[in-house]
């Protein structure tokens, strides 16, 4: 993205004087979401907007940000106008972003935040890097709606299951030995190439063979996949009477029950199965194959909605594009534990400058300070109630505007210090901002 400049704004170098503004956010009801009152997304959305929860409807995603696919709206009590989109609200006074963010990304947020409630697996997918995103957007703008990359971090609110990245050479060999249906499908020659690789192997050669096998699987006809899955299910259902099925075998059967005869169920054998505990996080970079399976999380990413899918979905798939862009790197993904910023806050920092995430859990009466930063922030309260102080009040009188509770989302302008005190048994919140490494050269 070309640096954004506005001579009047840059000359004045004025700092934002606006208070934090509350946001009304969008919700998505995709069929893989959790039904009604069981969904965290449903609860947050209802509390955020004052709407009712439909017990028969799946609630999948709660969007916080400026992306046109799910815009948030600024609820500005000082304005006589109806709520405007957060993107339009920022455009009225781009200085709320801070000079460096404005110069780098223009009058828009570089990050997007979501809450996900996953009942049924999401698609086998990957997100393109910037170069591929520009190409896809130019060729198919109705499908790939922006030209940005989408690295992302998922922070578990509950136990959270996912597939991410290709399995190690050791696990790949084991799979070829114990899943004859796949060994037959990918071909004896290709399978033997992997099985004969020694401990001291050439990564490039193994990755090429892995790519050939995975491509053969994903490009197989529906008829072939249906036959393979039928045989696999029949064998596993017989074997489970004699032995405990492996975790991966159980997972493949579960995925196939959700998406019958879908190639994505078999593709799971090639990918790392990850189970996050609450408070842990998973990072997925560009061109990394992954799929979320179940659980609830806060997900943060660069501002983009580009997804290339190849299975476990009723949405449009683009197998050839996915195969061409994937990284065939092997090995378990890193489980992020976060870095302690203070007694109550952990920070999750991905290797991209667009975003970082702070997770904060406050016991009753405890307080925490988020120092002023030179970029904007989004605050999401996922549980409890607290007093929110932006240091702008002239006295110590607490008003309704100072109280935040579950479901509330605030946009905080650059250069604004925030103090928060829990006034419930516990207060849980998340802060998303531009990556702190982005500001280090100032």
CA–CA gap between residue 127 and residue 40 (Å, rounded): 25
Question: Mean pLDDT over residues 406-428, rounded?
Answer: 96
Position 377 in a domain: no
Determine phi and psi for 329, rounding to 5 degrees: -80, 140
Position 44 in a domain: yes
DSSP states of 148-215 as a string? ----EEEEESS-EEEEEEEPPHHHHHHHHHH-HHHHHHH-HHHHHHHHT--SS--HHHHHHHHHHHHH
Banded model confidence at residue 13, pLDDT cuts 50, 70, 90: very low
Is residue 407 within 8 A of residue 48, CB to CB? The reply is yes
Position 93 in a domain: yes
Banded model confidence at residue 199, pLDDT cuts 50, 70, 90: low
Banded model confidence at residue 9, pLDDT cuts 50, 70, 90: very low
Position 347 in a domain: no
How far is C-alpha 172 from the chain's CA centre?
A: 27
Q: What are the residue numbers of the active site?
A: 309
DSSP conformational letter for 100: H
400 pLDDT higher than 70: no
334 pLDDT higher than 70: yes
SS3 133: helix
Banded model confidence at residue 205, pLDDT cuts 50, 70, 90: low
Mean pLDDT for the chain overall: 90
Place of tokens 């801070």: 98
Strand partners, 442: none
pLDDT of residue 165: 95
- Higher pLDDT among residues 358 and 206, named by residue: 358
Question: Mean pLDDT over residues 323-327, rounded?
Answer: 92
pLDDT, tens digit, for every residue of 95-128?
A: 999 999 999 999 999 999 999 999 999 999 999 9
pLDDT of residue 10: 42
- Higher pLDDT among residues 24 and 196, named by residue: 24
pLDDT of residue 441: 59
11 pLDDT higher than 50: no
pLDDT of residue 7: 46
Q: Which among 158, 164, 156, 153 is positioned nearest to 124, based on CA atoms?
A: 164
Banded model confidence at residue 72, pLDDT cuts 50, 70, 90: very high
CA–CA gap between residue 58 and residue 33 (Å, rounded): 5
Least confident range of 89-103, 260-274, 394-408:
394-408
Least confident range of 41-50, 90-99, 144-153, 245-254:
144-153
Structure-block tokens of residue 318 = 């683009």
- Higher pLDDT among residues 383 and 185, named by residue: 383
- Segments of 50-89 assigned E as strands: 58-59, 61-64, 73-75, 84-85
In percent, how much of the chain has pLDDT > 70?
90
275 pLDDT higher than 50: yes
Domain of residue 123: give its range.
7-11+23-164+276-321
pLDDT, tens digit, for every residue of 181-197?
A: 999 888 766 777 777 77
pLDDT of residue 296: 98
Position 75 in a domain: yes
Query: How many independent structural domains does the chain possess?
Result: 1
278 pLDDT higher than 60: yes
Position 220 in a domain: no
Is residue 51 within 8 A of residue 104, CB to CB? The reply is no
Position 269 in a domain: no
pLDDT of residue 197: 72
pLDDT of residue 335: 95
pLDDT of residue 81: 65
Position 143 in a domain: yes
Which CATH number is 76's domain given?
Answer: 2.60.120.10
pLDDT of residue 281: 98
In percent, how much of the chain has pLDDT > 90?
76
């Amino acid at each position: 993205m070309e640096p954004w400049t506005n001579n009047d704004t840059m000359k004045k170098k004025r700092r934002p004087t606006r208070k934090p503004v509350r946001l009304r956010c969008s919700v998505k009801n995709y069929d893989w979401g959790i039904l009604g009152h069981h969904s965290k997304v449903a609860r947050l959305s209802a509390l955020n907007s004052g709407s009712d929860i439909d017990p028969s409807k799946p609630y999948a995603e709660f969007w916080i940000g400026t992306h046109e696919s799910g815009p948030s709206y600024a609820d500005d009590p000082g304005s006589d106008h109806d709520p405007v989109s957060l993107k339009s609200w920022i455009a009225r006074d781009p200085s709320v972003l801070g000079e460096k963010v404005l110069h780098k990304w223009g009058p828009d947020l570089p990050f997007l935040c979501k809450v996900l409630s996953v009942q049924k697996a999401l698609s086998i997918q990957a997100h393109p890097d910037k170069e591929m995103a520009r190409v896809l957007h130019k060729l198919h703008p109705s499908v790939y709606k922006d030209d940005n990359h989408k690295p992302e971090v998922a922070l578990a609110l509950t136990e959270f299951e996912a597939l991410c990245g290709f399995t190690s050479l050791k696990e790949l060999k084991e799979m070829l030995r114990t899943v004859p249906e796949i060994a037959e499908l990918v071909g004896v020659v290709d399978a033997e190439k992997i099985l004969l690789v020694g401990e001291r192997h050439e990564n490039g050669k193994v990755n090429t063979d892995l790519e050939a096998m995975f491509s053969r699987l994903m490009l197989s006809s529906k008829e072939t996949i249906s036959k393979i899955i039928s045989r696999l299910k029949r064998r596993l259902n017989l074997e489970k009477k004699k032995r405990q099925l492996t975790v991966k075998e159980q997972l493949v059967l579960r995925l196939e029950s959700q998406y019958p005869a879908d190639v994505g169920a078999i593709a799971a054998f090639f990918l790392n199965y990850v189970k996050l505990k609450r408070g842990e996080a998973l990072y997925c970079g560009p061109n990394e194959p992954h799929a979320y399976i179940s659980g609830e999380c806060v997900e943060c990413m660069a501002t983009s909605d580009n997804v290339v899918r190849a299975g476990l979905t009723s949405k449009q798939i683009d197998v050839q594009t996915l195969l061409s862009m994937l990284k065939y790197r092997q090995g378990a993904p890193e489980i992020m534990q976060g870095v302690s910023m203070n007694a109550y806050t952990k920070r999750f920092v991905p290797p991209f400058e667009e975003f970082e995430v702070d997770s904060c859990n406050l016991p009753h009466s405890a307080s925490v300070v988020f120092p002023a930063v030179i970029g904007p922030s989004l605050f999401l309260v996922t549980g409890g109630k607290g007093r929110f102080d932006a240091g702008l009040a002239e006295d110590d009188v607490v008003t309704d505007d100072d109280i935040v509770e579950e479901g509330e989302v605030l946009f905080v302008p650059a250069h604004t210090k925030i103090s928060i005190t829990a006034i419930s048994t516990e207060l849980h919140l998340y802060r998303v901002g531009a990556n702190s490494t982005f500001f280090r050269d100032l």
